[in-house]
Chain A
């Protein structure tokens, strides 16, 4: 099968959906022909679809999402890009109070088919305002779906599902994933929400990971295999809806679970998944639940400081060894 990058996979999803449906359009800061998106995901799309449908905006995050909401409830399918995940804080009212609640608050009268794409993640030395992983914020808001693709295949399939859906989708990407290549079929496919993917089968320990951490978990699993420890890597692919059954099923098999996420540990994604396992599968556990996450600090700038806070393979391996 052909291999393409995560960035190209996202672009293909956008291109295919824009060709298929004239109501799909993109808006965001520098998504158009002059820049093609800060991470080049939308490069070339303005040339094909024009400046009206690949729309550069002022630096106005709140109005970007607000305008996307207004367009979504009047017949369009906007895909808004927020240049860095950290900047979603500027648009939080429109995301959490408007987009997420309009369908419910107005008694189901209208749908909000809106996708908000944004990159999270540390590792490129751009410090506290451009490096966070804030998925948990959005997971906490009923009415939003949260996608967290880790591979080009998942990125393309999930984005197409997001664009065709009837709900607001907070679509998390990761800066370090954009250049990563993976197999993506030529023919059309979709990846459904709420269905986890077993990225590696194993028998001794379940490792649940998302986004870039899936790759670190797979590296750790490879290394542990050499030491005779068989690790199963479960990638939820969407945090809302969360495929609890896939996680529980894996725990029933292995009896041990490590949850790896790049966000801060307190009240983070791993806390929610740990709670699900504690509530619904504690009888199958042979060891305490372990979490590998960032310490509760802002992301620091200097390379040694930054590397210190980002969970790595070593931390995953250590956590696994603590429970086997």
Chain B
């Protein structure tokens, strides 16, 4: 973890990670109060990945996301209140309550949407990359997915396609070790998803996904390569989800020692320590940031809670454009 970025950028990164963490803690709290319909897949623990990658992206760059997508939205710059409103099924949500937690999109910031079919967003990111190439712009498309998705055909078809056409796509695998309850070692004969890059003739890199600056640096290199028209990169970020797969999952399939080990590697805690150790920030500034972020989250919750539900008959709207 090196600190070559400006203080402003480091603070921005810290704040974004904190926004995601506090946001997810709030979602969990609201869920416990029975205020969140359906299911939730929390991003807590994986913040360094979304923030490290999106920290390199411009507003007009694209991302695609997954069922565990709140973090990607926030990292790309989505408004917290509209994300929260969508999660609560409100009319003021990003998708007018049609999508919910697993389907948030904000096309105004290049967030092309979260798909809840594992692996389905990967070819869509490739299509965004193809579109960039055909329109001849210098945008890039980053694509988030889990290690479980790397066993889907779409992963292999997509990386091959992006490789042969040298598309500006950054494939970001969030390897949190478990596909629902299935440990990676039970469904893959290799240790590193990044090794699969070799099969398609593109660079593949393993990074500590709980070290935001390591992710940032790897993504920076991949984004530069993509912008120059030199093709895609596969980055595998080793990380861990703090909670279970979804709302009902207590994650009893994960050994206690393993959970403790990963909680000790909490990406936010580590980054905070680094910021303090290097005197980039002092404790008072950290507290101030925490206060600001908490206030933002409270405001988002208030907005979402006070927003109306859509009228039932809106179910029939927007089937066709």
Contacts of A70 in B (CB 8 A): 64, 112, 123-131, 141
Q: State whether the Cβ of A105 lies closer than 8 Å to any Cβ in chain B.
A: yes
Q: Which residue of B lies closest to A101 (CB)?
A: B103
Contacts of A76 in B (CB 8 A): 130-131, 134-135
Contact with A along B68-96 (1 / 0, CB 8 A): 00000000000000000000000001111
Q: Which residue of A lies closest to B62 (CB)?
A: A74
> Known contacts A98-B124, A108-B96, A109-B107: does B131 contact A167 (CB below 8 Å)?
no
Contact with A along B139-179 (1 / 0, CB 8 A): 00100000000000110011011001000000000000000
Contacts of A53 in B (CB 8 A): 134
B60 to chain A, nearest CB (A): 10
Contacts of B93 in A (CB 8 A): 107
Complex contact A104–B134 (CB within 8 A): no
Q: How large is the interface on A (under 10, 10 to 19, 20 to 34, 35 or more residues)?
A: 35 or more
Complex contact A67–B98 (CB within 8 A): no
Contacts of B164 in A (CB 8 A): 58
Contacts of B99 in A (CB 8 A): 105-107
Contacts of A143 in B (CB 8 A): 319-320
Residues 73-119 (chain A) with a chain B CB within 8 angstroms: 73-76, 78, 93-94, 97-98, 102-112
Complex contact B321–A67 (CB within 8 A): no
Complex contact B157–A60 (CB within 8 A): yes
> Known contacts A106-B113, A107-B96: does B128 contact A57 (CB below 8 Å)?
no
A212 to chain B, nearest CB (A): 28
Which of B114-122, B227-235, B288-296 touches A? Answer: B114-122
Complex contact A71–B128 (CB within 8 A): yes
A78–B126 Cα distance when bound, in Å, is 13
A111–B153 Cα distance when bound, in Å, is 26
> Known contacts A103-B321, A108-B318: does B120 contact A75 (CB below 8 Å)?
no
Q: State whether the Cβ of A125 lies closer than 8 Å to any Cβ in chain B.
A: no
Complex contact B158–A63 (CB within 8 A): yes
Contacts of A258 in B (CB 8 A): none
A108–B62 Cα distance when bound, in Å, is 18
Q: State whether the Cβ of A307 lies closer than 8 Å to any Cβ in chain B.
A: no
A69 touches which of B124, B317, B319, B320 (Cβ 8 Å): B124
Contact with A along B254-273 (1 / 0, CB 8 A): 00000000000000000000
Q: Which residue of A lies closest to B169 (CB)?
A: A70
Complex contact B127–A167 (CB within 8 A): no
Complex contact A112–B321 (CB within 8 A): yes
Contacts of B50 in A (CB 8 A): none
A78–B133 Cα distance when bound, in Å, is 14
Q: State whether the Cβ of B193 lies closer than 8 Å to any Cβ in chain A.
A: no
18 A-B contact pairs sorted by A residue (CB < 8 Å): A60-B157, A60-B160, A62-B154, A69-B123, A70-B141, A73-B107, A74-B62, A76-B135, A93-B154, A97-B117, A104-B318, A105-B98, A105-B103, A106-B98, A107-B105, A109-B105, A109-B107, A145-B320
List chain B positions with a Cβ less than 8 A from chain A: 62, 64, 93-99, 103, 105-107, 112-113, 115, 117, 120, 122-135, 141, 153-154, 157-158, 160-161, 164, 317-321
Query: 7 closest pairs, A vs B, by CB?
Result: A70-B127, A66-B123, A107-B95, A63-B157, A60-B157, A108-B318, A67-B127
